[in-house]
A and B are shown apart, each in its own frame.
Chain A
Amino acid sequence: MLMVRAIVRPEKVDEVLSALMYAGFPSVTKMDVYGRGKQRGMKVGEITYDELPKELIFTVIEDKDKTFVIETILKSARTGTKGTFGDGKVFVSQIEEAYTVSSGIKQL
């Protein structure tokens, strides 16, 4: 199993979530985060925004769905067709075990 953590623009969240829903991956968790990237925040005139608001989306998937899910997220989170700075990042990590609390069964 893999955990996919995607940091996306707040205004793109709804699009990503519905894309995932239609792709057959309804289970996600979302939280508000603040951070900066390679561009060291954003500069508008005199003002520098060091930490920009983003949304962090978690989802845990089976190994075989990895490419499809990542493609879905990338496609829906991108601004325009080419994308711009600040569109976010996707991280993938290994999950060893997953339990469903309501049944206590060890499965996704």
Chain B
Amino acid sequence: MRMTNNGIGLASRAIGVALSLMLAVSACGGAGEDEGSGGGKAGAPGNTAGFDGKTIKLGVLTPLSGTVAVIGQPLTAGNEVWFDAVNAKGGIGGKYKVELVQEDTQYKTDLAVQKYNKIKGDVVAFTQILGTPPTLAVLPQLRTDKILAAPASLDALWVREDNLLPVGGPYQIQAINAMDYYLTDGGGSKDDVICTMIQDDVYGEAGQQGIDFAAEKYGFKVANTQKFKVGTENYAGQIGALAGAKCKMVFLVATPSDAAKIWGTAAQARFAPQWIGQSPTYTGALAQSAVAPYMEKSVWIMADGTEWGDDSVPGMKTMADDMAKYAPDQKPDFYFAFGYNQGRAMTAVLEKAVENGDLSREGILKASTEIGTVSFGGLTGDYQYGPAAERNPPRSTSVFAVDPAKPVGLKKLKYLIESDAAKEFEFKKADL
């Protein structure tokens, strides 16, 4: 009995000690409000988190291991090559070199938040956050920390977010332009049996939204929609349903390994509608696979920019040269181009911030509203930046056919279509 009393006494004394200790250290213990002040107006930007007067550091949160690394690797290589080229020309404002701080998220939200916290104090902004779930998980903190980040996905959700710096035409735009092309130059009619096949996630829903919008504008009906889960092994059911519905055109939102299985199953079932695929549906490896002959006949791909190695587009030539110079082992890849474009948008922001003489977090956010329209040298449509509420993403998309002889296996059918319907699509601020 005595012992027990003693125990409680000791425990409460211990808590007392702990409390007083805590109060003692609390004088220096708070981490609530320490915010580096940016720097002077005009003139050289003052030192701040991620900028030591010489080097500007940018964060990259991307899956570099795990199954999504197949996208994260080339995208990050695109970031690297862009900034290598910038540094070779002297850097931002002609004098500040850029350095990337890369962290692996494995495409997991909790890891993304941890890694964000790990490097947020060392970088001025994030030039890449890959994936919708990781971006959404980090977004609340971006807002409180007042940090700018460039998401590496084409979600429409990003357009109206102050803390995000998207590039490229969102998926909805791709889908609308796809229908525009199909109904005009593509030789289709609005009375055709038009179907969709979409991945059951955010990315798939974005494509479906675009098609539904187009359906209203062009007066066609979506006759059949098939959904599938990422990584499904067998698509006989979906293909059977689409064939049963006698679809003449199918809009496909998928990722390459699923797309290969889907087209493989369709080829085996001798079902050959006109397929139109959203850009991430495709990867160069598909043009070398057994499905290539079928794809040549029946598949178009919607994507930004032009075909690889098309020197008539100035941006493509520069990118190809930069890639040959700074990453000779890199294979041509549209994710690479995306990362490269992200670099260009972020550079525009940094240039502006340096011009303003303020590389602090607020300074960069402010700069991101002041850069106006950024041109991507024809690699993707011009993006009109500004305050998030007034941003206008590119409304253009190119159409490609599959041609294994070309570098990435894509041959352009029509360069940067900008349909009226796509121009009318409104981006609303989502409740995130």
- Do A and B actually bind? no
